[in-house]
Amino acid sequence: MNLKWMIIPAVFSVVLLASCVSDTSDKTNSYGSSNNNYGKTMDKAETKSKDDTSQVDALPQKDVLATVQSKLDSNVVVILPTSIPLSSDKHYLSAATTSTDNKYDVVFYETKQPTSVNSPDLKDTSKATPIATVSGQNYETEEEAGEATGHLNNVNTGVNGVDLGSGITGYSDAGAGSTFLNWAEGRYSLGVRNTTSADPEVSIDLAKKVVAKLEKETLPIPHQLGAVKLEAEPNRADGNSIRWQNQKTVYSVSQFADPLDGVSIATSYEK
């Protein structure tokens, strides 16, 4: 009997010790698992931090334009618009620049994410949409520069005058499958082109909108000539241009899909 009572406490002690060892092992594994999770969380945080450093901060337009200016290396006196219209206030402005001794070009883009000037992403049409091209080019003589504007003389003559508002009359012309509605304001000749098969009212409507807009806004003053050429047919960016002369230099806004946006860009140049 005495031996039996001595064995029982001994067995009980072994069981209790095993239980303690098991509990300690479980806690160690739990801590290790938690520690591993913590490590994974840190890995994600570090990855995010690295990704964030590679992202471009969203810049206000004036800072984008300042960056564009700094990228241009040309003998042409560089002037740029002060505002570029975007289709959404959730989108961003960027640009691609090229320059030589006698010319510079800036293609402005609307992007879905902040994108640095001259980024390769600007060539991806899913990420960037061209808005307009602004340029400056030097010529040998003032006569060459004047001709390069495309200015039309004597546009305020002819038959079939159309009242465009603000005391301005436009005159229609046609040729080579196109119709033209031309008028003059100051040193600028202005014209709207459309196809002969199109409704003439489309050209008249656009011309009236441009005239009304220029009652409130001012195009850069040419020295000596300027020309505005617009397409009444939608999305004909290749036919839209605004050019003005400053002595031997011609500045331009071109390749804009929306004629009124193009006028807005031109009138935003500092006078």
Same-domain check for residues 148 and 247: yes
Q: Which helix (H) or strand (E) holds 170?
A: strand 168-175
pLDDT band at 140, cuts 50/70/90? Answer: very high
What local confidence, expressed as pLDDT, does residue 158 receive? 72
> Are residues 178 and 256 both part of a single domain?
yes
The helix, strand and coil proportions of the chain, stated in percent and rounded to the nearest 5, come to 40, 30, 35
What pLDDT, on a 0 to 100 scale, did the predictor assign at position 55?
Answer: 62
Does the pLDDT of residue 26 top 50, yes or no? no
pLDDT band of residue 184 (cuts 50, 70, 90) is very high
Same domain for 32 and 77, yes or no, is: no
| 150 and 260 in a common domain | yes
Residues 30 and 72 in one domain: no
Same domain, 24 and 92: no
Give the dihedral sign, CA 34/35/39/41.
positive
* % the chain with pLDDT above 90: 74
Measured CA distances, 229 to 184, 206, 253 (Å)? 12, 12, 11
Kindly give, in sequence order, each residue whose CB lies less than 8 Å from that of residue 183, ignoring residues fewer than 6 positions away. Answer: 155, 156, 164, 168, 169, 170, 171, 189, 190, 191, 207, 211
Residues 68 and 156 in one domain: no
Residues 35 and 71 in one domain: no
Q: By residue range, what is the domain housing residue 30?
A: 1-54
pLDDT reported for residue 166: 97
Place 14 in a pLDDT band, splitting at 50, 70 and 90.
Answer: very low
Q: How far apart are CA 180 and CA 162, in angstroms?
A: 12
pLDDT band, very low/low/confident/very high, at 160 (cuts 50, 70, 90): confident
CA gap 246, 236 in Å, rounded: 27
Q: Please say whether the beta carbons of 228 and 213 come within 8 A.
A: no
| 87 plus 108 within the same structural domain | yes
128 and 172 part of one domain = no
pLDDT at residue 57, rounded to an integer: 87
pLDDT tens for each residue of 250-267: 999 999 999 999 999 999
**Mean pLDDT of the region 52-76:** 88
Examine the fold and report which residue of 25, 54, 83 is the final residue of a domain before the chain moves on. Answer: 54
**Residue 30 pLDDT > 60:** no
Quote the number of domains for the chain: 3
Domain match, 94 and 8 both: no
Tell me what the mean pLDDT of segment 108-114 comes to.
Answer: 97
Q: Are residues 76 and 146 in the same domain?
A: no
Residue where a domain stops, chosen among 80, 115, 134: 134
**Arithmetic mean of pLDDT over the chain:** 85
Residues in the chain: 271
Residue 157's pLDDT is 78
Among 134, 167, 189, which residue terminates a domain?
134
Q: In Å, how far are 32, 36, 38, 45 from 41, measured between CA atoms?
A: 14, 9, 5, 6
